[in-house]
Structure 1
Amino acid sequence: MARVVVDVMPKPEILDPQGKAVQGALPRLGFSGVTEVRQGKRFELEVEGEATPERLEEVRRMAEVLLSNPVIEDFEVHVVDHTVAEAAGTVTGQVTA
């Protein structure tokens, strides 16, 4: 089994009210120096077999179809186990409308 992570973030041009709320709360809680916050989603998938390039392409398709909204979000797919990632490669998907 391999563990694959899909990170989904709003596209840079999309407003992120949750990120802005967190950014506004940080100074009130005594934290300084943060100039921007973007909030996204993280999916951890355990897949059968090894993290082959074909398997990572399948996960990328899952991210396009179900895990992200390609109109307003970008996503990145990567393998948690770095030794497997070096053997299989890392797939990044940024879908533009």
Structure 2
Amino acid sequence: MKYKATVVIRLKKGLLNPEGKAIKKALNFLNFDVEDVDSYKMLDIILNAENEEDAKKKVEEMCKKLLANPVIHNYYIKIESLSQ
């Protein structure tokens, strides 16, 4: 079956987010009253798997091996079926 996995990867609490700070600074410069900006990565992955549990297991492995650094990142995985 075909599945779509959405993976959201964020920096752990307390870590500096230089991209978010740069965006906040630029928005403030453009006269937007922005208190904070948190930038993160969101990936949509289409994959084949036996079932939803298998799909999640595969994506979890992708995160551990390549997509996220467990020392500095937290991530969330959402799986949805694309097969009818």
TM-score interval (norm. to shorter): 0.7 to 0.9
Is the Cα–Cα contact under 8 Å of residues 19 and 37 in structure 1 kept in the other structure? yes
What does residue range 11-90 of structure 1 map to in structure 2 within 5 Å?
11-32=12-33, 34-49=34-49, 52-79=52-79, 81=80, 84=81
> Shift of the alpha carbon at 1:18?
0.8
Is the Cα–Cα contact under 8 Å of residues 2 and 50 in structure 1 kept in the other structure? no
2:51 and 2:29 map into 1 onto residues whose CA distance is 43
- Relative contact order (C-alpha < 8 Å, sep 6+): which is higher? 2
1:78 and 1:36 map into 2 onto residues whose CA distance is 26
> What amino acid is the match of 1:16?
N
Task: Compute the TM-score of the two structures, normalised by the length of structure 1.
Answer: 0.71
When you count strand as a share of all residues, which structure comes out higher? 2
Task: Compute the TM-score of the two structures, normalised by the length of structure 2.
Answer: 0.80
> Shift of the alpha carbon at 1:62?
1.1
Q: Return 5+ residue gaps in structure 2 as ranges.
A: none
Aligned-residue sequence identity (percent) comes to 29
1:8 is aligned to 9
CA RMSD, 1 decimal:
1.7
| Cα separation, partners in 2 of 1:49 and 1:25, compared to 1, 3 Å | same
> Any idea what the Cα deviations from partners look like across 1:31-79, whole Å, max 9, x if unmatched?
22x3221212122100114651221122112112210111111111113
